[in-house]
Structure 1
């Protein structure tokens, strides 16, 4: 689970506490080095240069950090500039290195300065809590992330995780002024947002499979706990784990996991006010305040509030929303920590399913054309609250217990196109209003720790997870026999739509319970060879209660989810890996004999290598994989009114992602994915045809240059291109294989500039200006059938001003 670093010193040991949602506590025994006894200098040698960058764990560069190198009477100091860079001239030797910055930890470490040339040493400072540590790491940069706990729920270097893991850090989200998940994931190959359910939630397509469930701090954000897309004012970074991963995450679609890591309370006072404005009358203010509530800094808070009021490039559409998130962290002792998380999100917009397809392509209509009733609004309200408890047990073990509950309401209220006339001029509107009520309760208890068996190191994880979800709907439709409502797609007359006449047609209730037990062991056989193994057992109890039309049903399903992975690191710069992993997703319904459907199963075979060159100049992952999904529900050929589970789908692909530090001023993010996702077995859809909204090729590039000297110190400029190849807009049926259509491919160019003024007393100023779809390309992001083709935004300009103290 995601959690920021918090560390404590006690009895000469460094205690590393990972505390967040959930908060975790982990002890690492390490003596503080006596750097004074190691101090030596070559007094007659010529001077050499020592330089580097100082950043925080999220990758944000630290201004005004004081770097000191000393040895006896020799003492040299430098302060980092607006880009976090420092530089010193001194003679070779072994020095005492001290790094200090307001709000961050300070610690002395020895640093050996070579006389053979320039010496580069980058540093990462952890946010100061009760007592924290400083981590020294070469190549620290705003786009660099070396560790993730998403794939294993333990803090593990990415190069030791036997699966493809990608992290979109805060600096990249900031450079691109990301507001929606779709804008973030375009930085990772093979991941797209093909559709957003009419503006209600962003459905992620990854490695050929679609999911409507993302995660937030490791907790599920599915349809039963979310009524709209997440607000990014509270997002610190985005973690992406590709492929089936049910061993630690439970029920999942086989594409993978997208996890949003939220911002955490800070131990020093921090205040930020940001104002964003731009195209389509965008107005988006954000307030972020954090700091200690007690003198000993045992109780910390963070309060984030944001709002948005904007129009849309789509006719009539708009976005109005308010987001509030107060968070508290309490550390009563070095071994105990609590965290309370809350959030509220409310707003409204139109239900917008885009354009339609005519023939083999999207209709030749303006991307602004709205093919629904613009008088019907989609309102929503949702709240979340969670409590985490972490307890260190000795120096090697940690117990974590965390719970989060969600509740909310939304009113799906729309007349949307669902049929096209023979003259291809008029669409028939499907009139529907549904009140949706949801609750979700998630509770996880985990024990983690390390131990040795001889020379072999083990990192254990054991957990129990309990989930309970409630989802109730009350649906109203026009009475049977009511005349169809229509709209001309070329000359729509919205005022001519008749008044609505609706009657309750069905009430549905679901009560679903899930329980899982899992074990995992990360075994370091040698310093180069590591094995990760795990197993999970899940029980799902699903209950549907129907009224008027639908039939009540209940079912029980179980699943075993094993995983095994191997990493081998022959040299420091590269590690090879291979993995086998499983996923399961429970299904509702029964076959003709009344037998409940089994869960869909996903199986992953993946191999690849991860690279991390000297001083982290180039980091990345290259992988080859195959995912098989079985137990897919398809039509029963002998009983047309029923279904059977004989369907199978397969995705094969090659992926590459890399972050390159061309220089300390110039960064490059690149990626490419080749995805071959097809139907292997089915009684309805054409075998060997491609899955819906899955481009065969995706690619991305983003580059940023920072000015670190001269009059324009603090300025940066970035630009990039992201694109996908054409994709199927709907699944191809065996009965009518020629009636499908293609969504054309596209390439989109984005650019941005920013300027960060050095601190003026206690204040810092940050200006940004971004142009998305700079060339104003007409494109479609994806589709979910012939009557839901989603157009991309035309040129979109956004400017922001941030004041920080």
Structure 2
């Protein structure tokens, strides 16, 4: 409470100071091209401040209410050379300065690896550095790429990936973890998550903070030709903020529902006069409770970045990120058992299982180093290296994924069986990608040839382990799964077998400070050290002629997985794959491109799975392929981008849990899964005052081949058939409401299956399906001088909904109505 009062006292003081300030200076003018045509959508801003605008349809612009001072006016536009001009206002008396600019076209891209940061401050992004491993306009990439820029992240006050996936077609949450569905395929491993195009490690639990993220990209469909073993539904790539060659500084503070307190800092600019040494520092902090019982987190991120440009031909970038999360692991909402039907409201959505002294600490650190050297106009070399480390320390009371049983072995639908896990582990990965690019011609064919090698390794070192307490107490002082046929071997109380961990009563929950010494742990296990490494050789040619662009790529991947690494019983599993990628783009007009692509992916089964006698193997590797056709367009003076895609993805040999009560580790391999669908993404500006992002996806992800005939035709878990949404922001730049902005958004998701969709209980087939939902969000902004105030209201109509779910015992409800109040200052 004291922190809240202090926050609002500071806020009211700032508002009072601002109310006393009046600044009426204006700079206006017109931006034209070399042929004297007005240019729409050109960005004009005062460097290091929040003052800025963009040109209208005639190329005119106007920035008002500028206070006294000396400024650098910066003019930037896609495809045009940046211009700067010094301006001075000596008083607040309403001076009007009129300036006109003629912009010259920029014909070259200066970097093929993203070393210098993106200067634009709009929802739209124009270039991808990872979709083809070269700096390629998104319009020319023969594959769908959805993205969210830092401007959308800021306007929606998003702090984690789950806050922003609603802005991208075909992407939705699977659970509360770092766990998503892409085109119907679950993505919960490091194989499907990249940082600056380099492989991260699987993280169980919390998502990273977004304070240092420039944009989040999703490359749709299989991407093994780019990134080795990859998810068939798509690959998520986090692009970190890089230094800018202009000074920008911003701080912001946020408070809101669930006792939320946040602070961000973003400083960037040149270090020296020559502007060949640039820096950026991003800091983020959050201390918040949750709409979920017992859940609380304290997180911080420290992310410095340096870019060094020793010559015009050489560019080097260094990033360091340190991120920590302290909280509890949220395993989801349990509801009454199957015999009580499928009433999702049998427990409140705030309901979580655990105890007061549970904890989960995660530490993430990663270091990246990137180099771009231009040997000549036609030959360049690019290399990037990342070391990524994650460790966790976990103590939790959690469900055993089943209900308690009575003396006859029948389930009691309002009592949860519990277990306690104490776990410590660490994972470290090394990534190196290096390649040469060659530009040349063969007759009328223009080539951008790429040849390179990647190396990836991940190690889980010695020292990890866990202990577990579970099951029922036996008369001999031990524990075992309850067997009603041998009831005399168990301890009973009030006619029921006594659990090792007290059952959790869903009707009368009780949270206490638990005493671990009261439990019987069934053994302490060390995680076997493990390692995998993979290296790939690849060739790619992007061929251009007339209105055609063709991408041809092939990759030879050599995957090695080592179980019991560096131990006497070490075993290595080898899996190799030749991976093609073919794409074609046709320029239908200056604004619209048509494209088609075919690509493949594979995911090796892990050595630990293949060598586990309880898993039921051996198993074949997963393999997938995709056909995709679509169109990409630019509208409203190239300020609004549109992408429509039609696709078919087929994956074979996926492993799933066999749900064998006698052997919870047994797996089974489905024959085939297939996803077919249509996606639409819109993003950018319709007018200089109106920004929008909108998306829609139709997807049918189903099991097409299986040894179990009942599975064939079943829709995959957490794969909605329809989903979509929009976010629109309008800013007023004149009159009494000058500086006021409004935003409105909505997103919808249709019904989804869970793993309990089909289940037989006492001869009756019961299921659990998550209902469809539509959520509305809104925001109000006010920009005054260098301050911006904003209030975001999420889930405006307080819709009860579930973003994902596993079963009756683990559902993941979305947040109820909540608000965030933010004040930001730029200087």
Smaller-chain TM-score range?
A: 0.7 to 0.9
Q: Which residue of 2 aligns with 1:761?
A: none
Q: What are the within-5 Å matches in structure 2 for residues 661-676 of structure 1?
A: 661-676=685-700
- Alignment partner of 1:162 is 2:142: yes
In the TM superposition, residue 80 of structure 1 has moved relative to its aligned partner by 3.9
Helix, strand or coil: the match of 2:262? strand
Alpha carbons of structure 1 residues 574 and 274: separation in structure 2 relative to 1, 3 Å = same
Alpha carbons of structure 1 residues 525 and 595: separation in structure 2 relative to 1, 3 Å = farther
Match of 2:712 among 682, 687, 697: 687
Q: Which residue of 1 aligns with 2:733?
A: 708
Check whether the contact 2:116–2:307 (CA below 8 A) recurs between aligned residues: no
Q: What are the within-5 Å matches in structure 2 for residues 593-608 of structure 1?
A: 597-608=619-630
Q: Which residue of 1 aligns with 2:344?
A: 362
Helix, strand or coil: the match of 1:171? helix
Q: Distance in 2 between matches of 1:134 and 1:302?
A: 12
Q: Which residue of 2 aligns with 1:786?
A: 808
Q: Distance in 2 between matches of 1:98 and 1:561?
A: 41
Name which of structure 1's ranges 728-737 and 147-156 shifts more when overlaid on structure 2.
728-737
Check whether the contact 2:776–2:796 (CA below 8 A) recurs between aligned residues: yes
Q: Distance in 2 between matches of 1:682 and 1:167?
A: 35
Check whether the contact 2:143–2:628 (CA below 8 A) recurs between aligned residues: yes
Helix, strand or coil: the match of 2:167? coil
Q: Which residue of 1 aligns with 2:678?
A: 654
Match of 1:571 among 572, 579, 589: 589
Match of 1:55 among 5, 27, 43: 43
Alpha carbons of structure 1 residues 40 and 182: separation in structure 2 relative to 1, 3 Å = closer
Q: Which residue of 1 aligns with 2:96?
A: none
Q: Which residue of 1 aligns with 2:403?
A: 420
Q: Which residue of 2 aligns with 1:739?
A: 766
- Per the normalisation by structure 2, the TM-score is 0.79
RMSD: 3.8
Q: Which residue of 2 aligns with 1:335?
A: 313
Q: What are the within-5 Å matches in structure 2 for residues 526-675 of structure 1?
A: 526=546, 528-545=547-564, 553-588=571-606, 589-590=609-610, 597-613=619-635, 615-616=637-638, 618-633=640-655, 647-659=671-683, 661-675=685-699
In the TM superposition, residue 443 of structure 1 has moved relative to its aligned partner by 0.9
Q: Distance in 2 between matches of 1:279 and 1:566?
A: 49
Q: What are the within-5 Å matches in structure 2 for residues 446-457 of structure 1?
A: 446-457=435-446
Q: Distance in 1 between matches of 2:106 and 2:231?
A: 39
Q: Deviations over 1:360-379 (max 9, x none)?
A: 35352111112222321001
Q: Distance in 2 between matches of 1:626 and 1:779?
A: 29
Q: Distance in 1 between matches of 2:668 and 2:334?
A: 31
Helix, strand or coil: the match of 2:711? coil
Name which of structure 1's ranges 145-154 and 588-597 shifts more when overlaid on structure 2.
588-597
- Alignment partner of 1:489 is 2:506: yes
Which segments of 5 or more consecutive residues in structure 2 lack a partner in the other structure? 1-32, 67-79, 88-98, 405-410, 470-477, 481-498
Q: Distance in 1 between matches of 2:118 and 2:184?
A: 41
Q: Distance in 2 between matches of 1:784 and 1:551?
A: 36
In the TM superposition, residue 53 of structure 1 has moved relative to its aligned partner by 4.0
Alpha carbons of structure 1 residues 734 and 519: separation in structure 2 relative to 1, 3 Å = farther
Alpha carbons of structure 1 residues 56 and 597: separation in structure 2 relative to 1, 3 Å = farther
Q: Which residue of 2 aligns with 1:205?
A: 181
Q: What are the within-5 Å matches in structure 2 for residues 311-326 of structure 1?
A: 311-326=289-304
Alpha carbons of structure 1 residues 645 and 50: separation in structure 2 relative to 1, 3 Å = closer
In the TM superposition, residue 180 of structure 1 has moved relative to its aligned partner by 1.2
Check whether the contact 2:48–2:247 (CA below 8 A) recurs between aligned residues: no
Match of 1:398 among 359, 363, 380: 380
Helix, strand or coil: the match of 2:451? strand
Q: Which residue of 2 aligns with 1:477?
A: 468
Alpha carbons of structure 1 residues 102 and 514: separation in structure 2 relative to 1, 3 Å = farther
Q: What are the within-5 Å matches in structure 2 for residues 25-174 of structure 1?
A: 50=38, 52-55=40-43, 63=51, 80-81=63-64, 99-100=83-84, 142-174=122-154
Q: Deviations over 1:671-714 (max 9, x none)?
A: 21111111122235711111111111101011111112112222
Q: Distance in 2 between matches of 1:285 and 1:153?
A: 34
Alpha carbons of structure 1 residues 310 and 134: separation in structure 2 relative to 1, 3 Å = closer
Q: Deviations over 1:552-584 (max 9, x none)?
A: 643111111111011112212222111101111
Q: Distance in 1 between matches of 2:299 and 2:787?
A: 26
Q: Distance in 2 between matches of 1:411 and 1:785?
A: 26
Q: Which residue of 1 aligns with 2:222?
A: 244
In the TM superposition, residue 221 of structure 1 has moved relative to its aligned partner by 2.6
- Alignment partner of 1:220 is 2:194: no
Helix, strand or coil: the match of 2:791? strand
In the TM superposition, residue 483 of structure 1 has moved relative to its aligned partner by 2.2
Q: Deviations over 1:108-166 (max 9, x none)?
A: 98579xxxxxxxx9999999xxx99999xxxx982222322231111222222111112
Match of 1:465 among 447, 454, 458: 454
Q: Which residue of 1 aligns with 2:544?
A: 524
In the TM superposition, residue 653 of structure 1 has moved relative to its aligned partner by 0.8
Alpha carbons of structure 1 residues 192 and 39: separation in structure 2 relative to 1, 3 Å = closer
Check whether the contact 1:190–1:207 (CA below 8 A) recurs between aligned residues: yes
Check whether the contact 1:54–1:122 (CA below 8 A) recurs between aligned residues: no
Check whether the contact 1:690–1:731 (CA below 8 A) recurs between aligned residues: no
Q: Distance in 2 between matches of 1:406 and 1:728?
A: 34
Q: Deviations over 1:220-277 (max 9, x none)?
A: 23316x8731111101111121111111111111010111111111223332211111
Q: What are the within-5 Å matches in structure 2 for residues 767-786 of structure 1?
A: 767-786=789-808
Q: Which residue of 1 aligns with 2:91?
A: none
In the TM superposition, residue 303 of structure 1 has moved relative to its aligned partner by 1.5
Check whether the contact 1:356–1:363 (CA below 8 A) recurs between aligned residues: no
Q: Deviations over 1:411-444 (max 9, x none)?
A: 1321111212333111111221111111111111
Q: Distance in 2 between matches of 1:495 and 1:141?
A: 49
Q: Distance in 2 between matches of 1:606 and 1:452?
A: 28
Which segments of 5 or more consecutive residues in structure 1 lack a partner in the other structure? 1-37, 42-48, 68-75, 84-95, 113-120, 759-763
- Alignment partner of 1:257 is 2:235: yes
- Alignment partner of 1:504 is 2:524: yes
Helix, strand or coil: the match of 1:337? strand
Q: Which residue of 2 aligns with 1:386?
A: 368
In the TM superposition, residue 599 of structure 1 has moved relative to its aligned partner by 2.5
In the TM superposition, residue 300 of structure 1 has moved relative to its aligned partner by 1.6
Q: Distance in 2 between matches of 1:122 and 1:537?
A: 37
Check whether the contact 1:97–1:109 (CA below 8 A) recurs between aligned residues: no
- Alignment partner of 1:376 is 2:343: no
Check whether the contact 2:728–2:745 (CA below 8 A) recurs between aligned residues: yes
Q: Which residue of 1 aligns with 2:535?
A: 515
Q: Deviations over 1:319-368 (max 9, x none)?
A: 10121111111111111122221111112111111112443353521111
Helix, strand or coil: the match of 1:691? coil
Check whether the contact 1:126–1:133 (CA below 8 A) recurs between aligned residues: no
Helix, strand or coil: the match of 2:719? coil
Check whether the contact 1:97–1:110 (CA below 8 A) recurs between aligned residues: no
Q: Distance in 1 between matches of 2:44 and 2:756?
A: 47
Helix, strand or coil: the match of 2:765? coil
In the TM superposition, residue 194 of structure 1 has moved relative to its aligned partner by 1.8
Q: Distance in 1 between matches of 2:38 and 2:633?
A: 26
Q: Distance in 1 between matches of 2:392 and 2:35?
A: 68
Alpha carbons of structure 1 residues 668 and 269: separation in structure 2 relative to 1, 3 Å = closer
Alpha carbons of structure 1 residues 179 and 98: separation in structure 2 relative to 1, 3 Å = closer
Q: Distance in 2 between matches of 1:683 and 1:413?
A: 39
